[in-house]
Structure 1
Amino acid sequence: MNAMSHWLSITRGNAPLLLSMPHSGTELLDYEPRFVSPWLARRDADWFIPELYAFAAQLGATIVRTTVSRSVIDVNRDPSGKSLYPGMATTELCPSTTFDGEPLYRDTRPLDADEIEQRRLHYFDPYHAALRDELARLRRLHPRVVIYDCHSIRSRIPRLFDGQLPQFNLGSNDGASCDVALSAAAVAACADSGLGHVLNGRFKGGYITRCFGRPDQGLHALQMELACRGYLREPDAVSADNWPPQFDPDYAAPLRSVLETVLARCITFAQSPQG
């Protein structure tokens, strides 16, 4: 079953697995003229995540995603303004800069607090309400549910991390958001691929992982941050002429195969007898 507003899409399944896609949107809405450029405002999207995980619906997963760009509002940030990574570069609930630190808006003054609040009410709150509602529905069907937060990012962003990011970056909020058996199963699937992987490295899980991961309540949250090179022909230096590249299903197939194993193990974990 699929329910969709003009910006929020919910594909309902009955397996004990919910995929959240908070950063795959590229719509700038009526804010577009205020940005320095539409390309810059879209550049840091998690490109083609819905296409990459299209197989998940066949597994019976529920998928919640927004089409609104993270540059308008980031539904994976703490609305209180508290940093998820104190002392490290990051972006805000309504970002003022790109990942590389470039100003997003033509007017360099900070966004008005009332406007930020309106964006939160219109987009952030309904997205999180959808997550809560779908998790409650799935918990009525299963004793345990896995929340899998889907992300991707360019392989090199010096402002955010040193060097080249590993291919698979799993986050469990240092073990607080899910049972160790779940994170271990996902890590093992990544390790079997022979590609670089890390658990709770630079990306330990965003607000969604930290907010909804409640293992004691049967809710186990895991974030997957993919380096884009694994499924896109990522250039050494991105520009408006080469980014994003086209999505090629054949090129993405090897990485998608690993993700199929990861999600299958998420479901197996949720269905296994507790303890």
Structure 2
Amino acid sequence: MMAYDFHQGSAPLLVSIPHAGTRLTPEAEQGLSPEALPLPDTDWHIPELYDFAAGLGASIIRGHYSRFVVDLNRAPDDTPLYASATTGLFPQTLFDGTLAWKAGKEPDDACRQRWLAEIWQPYHQKLQAELARIRQQHGYVVLYDAHSIASMIPRLFDGALPDINLGTNDGRSCPPAMAQAMVELCESYPQYRYVLNGRFKGGYITRQYGSPARRQYAVQVELAQCNYMRESHPFNLVDDKAKALKPLLRAFLERLANGGDFGA
């Protein structure tokens, strides 16, 4: 059971893609509800949107398994990320509140512990090892956690989500200069609405590994999916929208890969 794909780069930048995976374990294939089996809460097409990252020298780690098996961006003890509605380490519902599992088919504790050991832990062990390697080589490291979500989910937030959602754990996961650099890039693409530390402030990965005092910086970028894909099944990429969005994403990674130590 290989939990992730990994590419090692040469820049002081690691791109994490934890929620684009679509693999299911046999238990999940048999137990997920009809509403969950199409995997509607997947971060669809994120690897394609960032297909230039390796060419910029970034290291890249991408999870293979669906978040309905185990969510790589949640704490291993399942501590909630937000006081408002959210989903956990082993999601029981879709984002809209629909049950994710057939009655009586939910994974038992032994199954969950196996998924934690064989899927969650390897991803985080590799992520930690690569952060340490990059920091040792360059003196600092930037972790870019790449996500997307449907633009309207009434259970999670009111109205339409901004197009670009930057999360720095309310300024605790990176230096102010790094957040400001990303805000300035957003302002140079006025066709997209953006917010810094709005509804999405960064998940477990951003909060756990962003440590400016150690010169280890992290930011989560959550994209509203209406800007690059169909938000209903079969969740197709919309090529012209994706092509329009990618220059901003490339500008983010170029700035982070080549911007020097923002905390120096």
Task: Give the counterpart of 2:75 among 75, 78, 93.
Answer: 78
How far, CA to CA, are the matches of 1:39 and 1:173 in structure 2?
29
How far, CA to CA, are the matches of 2:223 and 2:144 in structure 1?
13
Aligned pair 1:144/2:127, yes or no?
A: no
State the SS of the aligned residue for 1:63. strand
Contact 1:32-1:38 within 8 A present in 2 as well: no
How far, CA to CA, are the matches of 1:261 and 1:188 in structure 2?
11
Aligned to 2:235: 244
How far, CA to CA, are the matches of 1:257 and 1:143 in structure 2?
28
Aligned to 2:24: 28
Question: What is the CA distance between 1:191 and its match in structure 2?
Answer: 1.7
How far, CA to CA, are the matches of 1:185 and 1:50 in structure 2?
23
2:75 counterpart letter in structure 1: D
Q: Scaled by the length of structure 1, what TM-score is found?
A: 0.91
How far, CA to CA, are the matches of 1:102 and 1:233 in structure 2?
20
Q: Structure 1 residues 193-202 or 107-116, which shifts more?
A: 107-116
Aligned to 1:46: 43
Task: Give the counterpart of 2:246 among 250, 253, 256.
Answer: 256
Query: Structure 2 vs 1, CA of residues 96 and 45 (structure 1 numbering), >3 Å: closer, same or farther?
Result: same
Q: Scaled by the length of structure 2, what TM-score is found?
A: 0.94
1:186 counterpart letter in structure 2: M
How far, CA to CA, are the matches of 2:72 and 2:104 in structure 1?
22
Aligned to 2:12: 16
Question: What is the CA distance between 1:274 and its match in structure 2?
Answer: 5.0
Question: What is the CA distance between 1:66 and its match in structure 2?
Answer: 0.9
Question: What is the CA distance between 1:187 and its match in structure 2?
Answer: 1.2
Contact 1:11-1:64 within 8 A present in 2 as well: yes
Aligned pair 1:179/2:175, yes or no?
A: yes
Contact 2:186-2:194 within 8 A present in 1 as well: yes
2:213 counterpart letter in structure 1: D
How far, CA to CA, are the matches of 2:3 and 2:25 in structure 1?
10
How far, CA to CA, are the matches of 1:17 and 1:9 in structure 2?
16
Q: Unpaired segments of 5 or more residues in structure 2?
A: none
Question: What is the CA distance between 1:249 and its match in structure 2?
Answer: 3.8
How far, CA to CA, are the matches of 1:273 and 1:263 in structure 2?
14
Contact 2:11-2:58 within 8 A present in 1 as well: yes
Contact 1:232-1:252 within 8 A present in 2 as well: yes
State the SS of the aligned residue for 1:208. helix
Aligned to 1:124: 120
How far, CA to CA, are the matches of 2:142 and 2:76 in structure 1?
23
State the SS of the aligned residue for 1:42. coil
Which whole-Å deviations, capped at 9, do the CAs of 1:150-187 have from their partners, x for residues lacking one? 00000000000000000000000000000111111111
How far, CA to CA, are the matches of 1:189 and 1:131 in structure 2?
27
Task: Give the counterpart of 2:93 among 94, 97, 115.
Answer: 97
Which whole-Å deviations, capped at 9, do the CAs of 1:97-121 have from their partners, x for residues lacking one? 1001111111257643332211111
Aligned to 1:221: 218
Question: What is the CA distance between 1:268 and its match in structure 2?
Answer: 2.8
Contact 1:151-1:226 within 8 A present in 2 as well: yes
1:153-192 alignment to 2 at 5 Å? Answer: 153-192=149-188
Aligned to 2:257: 267
Aligned to 1:113: 109
How far, CA to CA, are the matches of 1:78 and 1:163 in structure 2?
28
How far, CA to CA, are the matches of 2:46 and 2:11 in structure 1?
20
Aligned pair 1:206/2:203, yes or no?
A: yes
Q: Unpaired segments of 5 or more residues in structure 1?
A: none
